[in-house]
Amino acid sequence: MKDLVLIVTAVILSLAAAGAIYRIAVGPSLLDRVLASDVLLAILGAALAIDMAVNRHLNNLVLLVALSLIGFIGSVTVARFVADRRGQVNDS
């Protein structure tokens, strides 16, 4: 049963990662690409968390926290950049 759950989660995460990579490559705007990269980081974090739960270790915990921080800081930075840019366009 555990093997079946691992296979199903691996397939789901792989399909989600493929969709995110497609959106990064094709995305019509910068915000689409940033959101897709954030989703890809979340998928990678989920894969690390599943690996830690299955193998009952915490070796990847620091990497998981670092990925989460990078995703959060990157998304907030781009959102602030876009908000500032839109504010300048509307002020003109």
pLDDT at position 4 is 94
Per-residue pLDDT band at 91 (split at 50, 70, 90):
low
The pLDDT tens digits for 44-79 are: 999 999 999 999 999 999 999 999 999 999 888 988
The DSSP annotation for 2-61 comes to HHHHHHHHHHHHHHHHHHHHHHHHH-SSHHHHHHHHHHHHHHHHHHHHHHHHHHT--TTH
- 77 lies in which domain range? 2-91
Overall domain count for the chain: 1
Could you read off the pLDDT of 10-51 as tens digits, one per residue? 999 999 999 999 999 998 988 899 899 999 999 999 999 999
* pLDDT reading at 92 higher than 70: no
In the Cβ-directed half-sphere of 76, how many Cα atoms lie within 13 Å? 6
Q: What is the pLDDT of residue 27?
A: 87
pTM, rounded to two decimals: 0.86
Reading phi first (left if > 0) and then psi (alpha if -120 to 50, else beta), residue 8 is in alpha
